Amino acid sequence: MVGGVAVGLAGAVGLHGVIPNTPGRVGSLVESFLPWCGVVVVLLFVGALVRRSGVGLVALLVPVGVWVHSFGGLLLPPTDGGARELVVVQHNVSDENPDPAGTARALLAAGGDLVALEEVVAPALAVYEDVLGADYPHHVVHGSVGLWSKYPIREEQLVDIRPRAFEAGWSRGLRAVVRTPYGDVAAYVAHLPSVRVGVRGLTSSPRDESARMLGDAVRGEEVETVILMGDLNSTVDDRGLEPLTSQLNVAERGFAFSYPAVLPLARIDQVLARSAGVSHVRTLPATGSDHLPVTARVSLDPLPPSGRPAP
């Protein structure tokens, strides 16, 4: 029994792309929690020891190898990001945050060059502007997303990622060109629609539509270096984000599970980059939000077209 489950688990991790997404978007649901297959392997190992199953122990080598190939690199210690590096902070601050001032101070302590926020609503916006303003004199807000920068912002605009079925006024995307010491960077901040898990599976059509729209915007971006920060309501392994992960580098080190804050199960708060590498990502201590903040080191040194691909 252990051997059969082990082989099936290896197939789920290594061949998750062939799992059909209908009905219920099962493929995307499985992909959202792929790293946790490692815990299942450990439980199977204990079961094989208890049963004294030599065949089971040997069979477990297959999922172990597949898991290490897919996720082992994320366990490695951070690498030197190089001389040309930006530190960015990404946080869904929650529109119900009871302590926006405390949240802003916590983000200040991270010492980032860029701070991207989602679910920024009045009157909390004024608090973020007040607390972050001294260290981040340049900022832009469109709808409920905002970017605070230590460096000048020379362009800014709304990015329309509103699904067709959503009401007018839904605004969760922006683009800003930041003039960094290493050259211009097109910084995108986005908050994709939420997904729901119910008896019929995963409901993610609006998120997937919004991801395609955002992917089109990034594809047409004329500034070579792009950094995308946002609550994408998905992991980088989920095929729903393929319009983005197919053209942007994902984190090379760190799991940084960010949601839910009380018991983080997945990283849905992302930092992705083009013509740059996300060398390391980690979470910060909890704030008044239901998400954990995420900070990442982005290396702007020359890189190949893609970094760690989504498994």
Tell me: the pLDDT tens digits for 155-168? Answer: 999 999 999 999 99
Tens digits of per-residue pLDDT, 207-218?
999 999 999 999
For residues 142 and 165, give the distance between their C-alpha atoms in angstroms, rounded to a whole number. Answer: 20
Tens digits of per-residue pLDDT, 25-58?
788 888 888 898 889 888 888 888 887 778 778 8
Q: Across all residues in the chain, what is the average pLDDT?
A: 91
Q: Token digits for 137?
A: 């004199």
Q: Do the bridges between strand 183-191 and strand 226-231 make them parallel or antiparallel, or are there none, so unpaired?
A: parallel
pLDDT greater at residue 62 or residue 29: 62
Instruction: State pTM to two decimals.
Output: 0.90
For residue 234, the number of C-alpha atoms closer than 13 Å in the C-beta half-sphere is: 34
pLDDT at 162: 98
Tens digits of per-residue pLDDT, 101-155?
999 999 999 999 999 999 999 999 999 999 999 999 999 999 999 999 999 999 9
For residues 135 and 181, give the distance between their C-alpha atoms in angstroms, rounded to a whole number. Answer: 16
Determine if residue 16 is left, alpha or beta; phi over 0 gives left, psi from -120 to 50 gives alpha, anything else beta: alpha
- Confidence at 201, pLDDT banded by 50, 70, 90: low
pLDDT at 76: 85
